[in-house]
């Protein structure tokens, strides 16, 4: 079991980004262990990417992929829209990691939301990352009941990383 995180911080926000790369990796590994223990994922090798950017880039992506000409806090692009396929083990014992997809967070919006909600930027970024990860794993919130379940799951995930 392992998760490889490919992380990028756009230069516009990099100097003010409060979370070290190794911290992001630790958080996603903790979430992987938690989700495995809950039966939400199977044991395996996984990959995903995380991009932290600003509102300008986020607005461009939101327009391109969701036809909404405004920034948003987090976008998720799942690589798999169905049940995770069984990938056979190669003769060498190498198992191809399953790519979950991409999470993109606007640090500009996260900063604003953290101030409005009276908590730290670190907490807000972790909250958004957990939300994005759940979307990659197939969670959605088309109605109030499913939103409540998803928000509760995010809260449990943040407890796993002591936030």
Whether the Cβ atoms of residue 76 and residue 129 lie closer than 8 Å to each other:
no
131 labelled ligand-binding: yes
141 is in an annotated binding site: yes
Q: What is the CB neighbour count within 10 angstroms for residue 104? A: 24
As a whole number of angstroms, the distance between CA 155 and CA 133 comes to 13
Q: Is 10 known as a binding-site position?
A: no
Taking alpha carbons only, the member of 47, 126, 53 closest to residue 79 is: 47
Give residue 78's Cα distance to chain centre. 10
- C-beta separation of 72 from 109 below 8 A: yes
| Cα 60 to Cα 6, 53, 130, distances in angstroms | 21, 11, 23
Residue stretches of the annotated binding site for Zn(2+): 131, 135, 141
Residue stretches of the annotated binding site: 131, 135, 141
């Amino acid at each position: 079991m392992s998760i490889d995180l490919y992380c990028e911080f756009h230069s516009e926000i990099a100097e003010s980004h409060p979370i070290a790369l190794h911290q992001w990796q630790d958080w996603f590994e903790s979430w992987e262990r938690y989700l495995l223990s809950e039966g939400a994922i199977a044991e395996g090798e996984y990959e995903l990417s995380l991009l932290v950017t600003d509102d300008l880039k986020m607005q461009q992506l939101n327009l391109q992929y969701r036809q909404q000409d405004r920034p948003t806090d987090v976008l998720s692009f799942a690589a798999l829209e169905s049940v995770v396929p069984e990938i056979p083990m190669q003769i060498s014992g190498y198992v191809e990691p399953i790519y979950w997809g991409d999470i993109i967070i606007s640090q500009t919006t996260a900063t604003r939301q953290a101030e409005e909600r009276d908590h730290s930027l670190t907490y807000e970024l972790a909250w958004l990352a957990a939300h994005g990860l759940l979307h990659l794993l197939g969670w959605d919130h088309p109605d109030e009941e499913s939103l409540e379940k998803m928000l509760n799951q995010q809260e449990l995930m943040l407890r796993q990383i002591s936030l």
